[in-house]
Amino acid sequence: MKKVIMNVKHSEKRIAVTEDDQLVEWFSSADKNTHVGNIYIGQVQEVLPKLNAVFVNIGLNKNGFMRFEDTVEGKEFENSTEDNIRKVFQKGQYILVQVIKDAFDEKGPKLTNNLEFSGDYVVYLPLTKQVAVSNKIKGESKRNKFYSLGRENTSGNEGIIFRSSCENTNPNEILNELNSFQTVYESLRNQNLKKITCVWEANSLFTKFFKLHPKNTISEIMIDDLISYKNYLPSEIKITGYRGIENIFVTYKIEEQIEKSFKPIVWLKNGSFLIIERTEAMTVIDVNTGKFSGKHNRDETVFQTNQFAAIEIARQLRLRDIGGMIVIDFINMKSSDMQKNIFDLLKESFKNDRAVTKLFGFTDLGLFELTRKRTAHSHIEATHQKCLECNGSGLVKNTVQIVFELERELWEVSTSDIEAILIECSDDVAKALNGEQNEHLQRLEKAMFIKIFLKTTTSKKPFYDIVRTGTQNEITSYLEKSLKMK
């Protein structure tokens, strides 16, 4: 069984899944491009009967607009008159609304107060008396069974639409989803509607998480803001509110494990280590014995290291959410029995992975091949950007190469009619250009017939920039002014 830890107090919401106190998966609330389906407590800003519209502030950049015919009340009137709209909506009024279309260009999001909750099996309509069954469900007896189920479990103005996924699903599971939506709606309806806020996210992090991790696989949930998010959590699971001062992910060592997952080197408990390198085409994992020498002969040491590595590789691929082609360079094993053992161990280690993984085994070169279905961007792709210095290569030009390039540019500049030049550069470039006792710089100045001024800046990357050219007096004056400004 899994233990789930939720860090939801801040702008970024995060959910961690642990097995045997080790992090195996985590989820983050990425920036969402859509608000469709979200339910808000909004405040009416304007009522415009002639436009047949109500404008509502729901806390987004632009006010949402709601056509009267899209409201519950509008559907009750045969004709939308100005008096009807004014009777129902007044400026300053707080109402529950749902986004049915995102903002576009200058238009704000389109809204309705005729709410609906869409799940895996049903669409629950708390304010529309209707029972419907998906056209994909064939057979009169099957369809009648769902019509009866809907009528028996809704009352008043409630409605329900049965989705095609209901066809081969246990009715209790369908009713559990319906009951959870009914509970959520009752909770929203009874809230104090005096604050503009989002009260239900249709495609929230929670919705996504519980679709991937069924409730019956979770033993406990620890959450740091139970009051605000209790509506999102299933009542069947043991839920504990965290009240510590320290961030919940720090307390349970989740933060530490997430940070380690961004690094290429993974140390194993026995002193051996993995190197995980991602390329455009595939992910390559190298296994090294490191500090582990073992208590037995070399073959046994190699085999033990590969066993430790196989278990950790399965965890790391889940943790980092790496998909695509993966090649593992295990330490060479002479025995085919040992290779089969590693294959079986990997297969066992991947059994809890929700992503489809296919193991191809060892090649003639001793490399282990497998594929893991890509379900989304890996965590490092979602949270990191290419280095602006090296453009993602991990390499920058060394000091000597930068100095060579600077010299070439100086020779080109020296053909112009200038007397002096100011160069801003890193400390190591200045040192290399000066040479011992400034001899190299002096030789350049004599050969080019220009005075070279160097302004050094502390930088980890070797660089130079030609800042200014002119007479010596102009450069000297510029430097003096720069010092005064500091």
CATH at residue 467: 3.40.1260.20
Weakly modelled stretches of the chain, pLDDT under 50: 31
- Tell whether 363 and 408 lie within a shared domain: no
Q: Which residue has the tokens 């890193």?
A: 426
Does residue 392 fall inside a structural domain? no
- Tell whether 361 and 248 lie within a shared domain: no
- Tell whether 140 and 186 lie within a shared domain: yes
pLDDT tens sequence across 323-337: 889 999 999 988 899
Does residue 34 fall inside a structural domain? no
- Tell whether 314 and 212 lie within a shared domain: no
Does residue 390 fall inside a structural domain? no
- State residue 284's pLDDT score: 96
Cβ neighbours of 10 (radius 10 Å): 11
- Tell whether 137 and 181 lie within a shared domain: yes
- Tell whether 292 and 367 lie within a shared domain: yes
* 3-state SS record for the chain: CEEEEEECCCCCCEEEEEECCEEEEEEECCCCCCCCCCEEEEEEEEEEHHHCEEEEECCCCCCEEEEHHHCHHHHHCCCCCHHHHHHHCCCCCEEEEEEEECCECCECCEEECCCCEECCCEEEECCCCEEEECCCCCCHHHHHHHHHHHHHCCCCCCEEEECHHHCCCCHHHHHHHHHHHHHHHHHHHCCCCCCCEEEECCCCHHHHHHHHCCHHHEEEEEECCHHHHHHHCCCCCEEEECCCCCCHHHHCCHHHHHHHHCCCEEECCCCCEEEEEECCCEEEEEEECCCCCCCCCHHHHHHHHHHHHHHHHHHHHHHHCCCEEEEEECCCCCCHHHHHHHHHHHHHHCCCCCCCEEEEEECCCCCEEEEECCCCCCHHHHHCCCCCCCCCCCCCCCHHHHHHHHHHHHHHHHCCCCCEEEEEEEHHHHHHHHCHHHHHHHHHHHHHCCEEEEEEECCCCCCEEEEEEECHHHHHHHHHHHHHHC
Does residue 389 fall inside a structural domain? no
Does residue 90 fall inside a structural domain? yes
Work out how many domains the chain is built from and give that number. 5
Nearest residue to 304 via CA among 264, 329, 272, 267: 272
Domain boundary among 77, 112, 147: 112
- State residue 381's pLDDT score: 74
- State residue 486's pLDDT score: 61
- State residue 79's pLDDT score: 67
- Tell whether 312 and 249 lie within a shared domain: no
- Tell whether 125 and 209 lie within a shared domain: no
- State residue 31's pLDDT score: 47
- Tell whether 407 and 366 lie within a shared domain: no
211 lies in which domain range? 2-29+205-256
**Rounded CA separation 294/307 (Å):** 13
Does residue 349 fall inside a structural domain? yes
- State residue 32's pLDDT score: 55
- Tell whether 351 and 441 lie within a shared domain: no
Does residue 247 fall inside a structural domain? yes
Domain boundary among 63, 93, 112: 112
- Tell whether 252 and 284 lie within a shared domain: no
Does residue 393 fall inside a structural domain? no
pLDDT tens sequence across 338-381: 999 999 999 999 988 888 899 999 999 999 999 998 756 677 77
**Token pair recorded at residue 183:** 């509970």
- Tell whether 268 and 376 lie within a shared domain: yes
**Type of residue found at 174:** I
